[in-house]
Amino acid sequence: MLDFLNEYGSQLIFKTWEQFYTSALALFFGIAVAVPLGVLLTRAPRTAKIVIGIAGMLQTVPSLALLALMIPLFGIGKLPAIVALFIYSLLPILRNTYIGMEKVDPQLKDSVKGMGMTNLQSIRHVEIPIAMPVIMAGIRLSAVYVISWATLASYIGGGGLGDLIFNGLNLFQPDLIIGGTIPVAIMAIVVDFSLGKLEKTLTPINQRT
């Protein structure tokens, strides 16, 4: 173990950071697009089925194939990896946002409108806070997916811990495979735990379990 850290320690730190910020950027853009879109789709149920269906179809594309499809559009490197991971992050966030918003009691919506709230105020101050546990569940699921799939970005020059894993496979060095795999698992657990804490912070007290 110490020999491995002495030889690959600095590389391991750098690759872990690459994996993290590639995943973080993809997830950030996924949240920025999918949450507002999911909220908007609750106002257009017919369109919602089509949009969620398209997002579902995109997620069925094999990850390696999707990464390969990014090369003609964006070349190789981190940009195509981030775009591919962004596409994969959309469905769980979009679907959970839509479901969470749809589950808000219609009578409650009518009540806040009767109090003089605009549609936007109702969404911001009432509906999203109530739907937050479901929305965050989608975000947490996407985060774990994206961190795991980011290892495949190595195939198109995206860097990350996949470089260690695939070098280990090519060179028949199990220590490289294990050394790249363990940080991915730890990162996924830590991010999921952190998002769980954020979920509790964002969820109204009367909604907490």
CB contact at 8 A, 152 and 19: no
Choose among 40, 156, 49, 175: nearest CA to 165: 175
pLDDT of residue 152: 87
> pLDDT tens digit string along 178-199?
888 999 999 999 999 999 999 8
**Mean pLDDT score across all residues of the chain:** 87
pLDDT of residue 141: 94
pLDDT range class, residue 209, cuts 50, 70, 90: low
pLDDT range class, residue 208, cuts 50, 70, 90: low
Domain boundaries, the chain: 2-207
pLDDT greater at residue 4 or residue 163: 163
CB contact at 8 A, 208 and 200: yes
pLDDT of residue 116: 78
Q: What's the pTM value of the predicted model, to 2 decimals?
A: 0.89
> pLDDT tens digit string along 121-178?
888 888 888 999 999 999 999 999 999 989 988 888 888 888 889 888 888 888 888 8
To the nearest whole percent, how much of the chain has pLDDT over 70?
A: 97
Mean pLDDT of 38-56: 88
Choose among 82, 97, 78: nearest CA to 31: 97
Residue 110: pLDDT over 90 = no
> pLDDT tens digit string along 48-67?
888 888 888 888 888 888 88
Choose among 133, 141, 137, 108: nearest CA to 122: 108
d(Cα 188, Cα 28) in Å, to the nearest integer?
Answer: 15
What's at 98, amino acid-wise? Answer: Y
Nearest 5°: the CA angle 13, 19, 158 is 115
Mean pLDDT of 40-50: 87
pLDDT range class, residue 207, cuts 50, 70, 90: low
d(Cα 189, Cα 195) in Å, to the nearest integer?
Answer: 10
Class of domain 2-207: mainly alpha
d(Cα 153, Cα 82) in Å, to the nearest integer?
Answer: 9
Residue 206: pLDDT over 80 = no
CB contact at 8 A, 143 and 191: yes
d(Cα 96, Cα 85) in Å, to the nearest integer?
Answer: 18
Mean pLDDT of 105-130: 83
Residue 25: pLDDT over 90 = yes
